[in-house]
């Protein structure tokens, strides 16, 4: 498993590569990368089928620390997964696009 910086994540995101946001619902609701699939870290094992398997998935969290654990979970299940260093905080501070709103219920 590897970790990428916000620039590499941005490049992958622009090509439509899947992003999995593993924060809690209230965090996701405040702001997230557009199109990020919301699966709370504590429920990730139960929702693995939701993650596209043919591509590398970027796992993003608030600051990047727990995304390492999420990427390990995904990688153990088969899909290629990378952790986004500095997480959503870096995404937002960089001025990149964001969405707000409640996630679908899990």
Residue where the block lists tokens 């990149």 = 96
What would the mean pLDDT of 25-51 be, rounded to a whole number? 94
Confidence (pTM): 0.92
pLDDT, position 64: 64
- Full domain range(s) for residue 50: 2-93
Q: How far apart are alpha carbons 62 and 87 in whole angstroms?
A: 5
**Residue 55 domain-assigned (yes or no):** yes
Q: How does pLDDT run across 44-94, given as a tens digit for each residue?
A: 999 999 898 767 899 999 986 789 999 999 999 887 899 999 999 999 999
Q: What total of structural domains would you count in the chain?
A: 1
Q: Strand 57-60 and strand 19-21: pairing?
A: parallel
Q: Is there a domain that residue 37 lies in?
A: yes
Tokens of 62: 């608030």
CATH of the domain at 55: 3.40.250.10
Contact 67, 1 (CB under 8 A): no
**Is residue 14 very low, low, confident or very high in pLDDT (cuts 50, 70, 90)?**
very high
């Amino acid at each position: 498993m590897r970790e990428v910086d916000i620039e590499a994540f941005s490049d992958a995101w622009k090509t439509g590569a899947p992003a999995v946001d593993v924060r809690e619902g209230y965090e996701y609701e405040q702001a997230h990368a557009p199109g990020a699939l919301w699966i709370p870290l504590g429920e990730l094992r139960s929702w693995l089928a939701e993650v596209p398997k043919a591509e590398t998935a970027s796992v993003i969290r608030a600051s990047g620390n727990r995304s390492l654990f999420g990427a390990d979970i995904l990688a153990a299940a088969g899909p290629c997964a990378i952790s986004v260093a500095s997480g959503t905080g870096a995404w937002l501070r960089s001025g990149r696009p964001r969405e707000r709103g409640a996630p679908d219920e899990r």
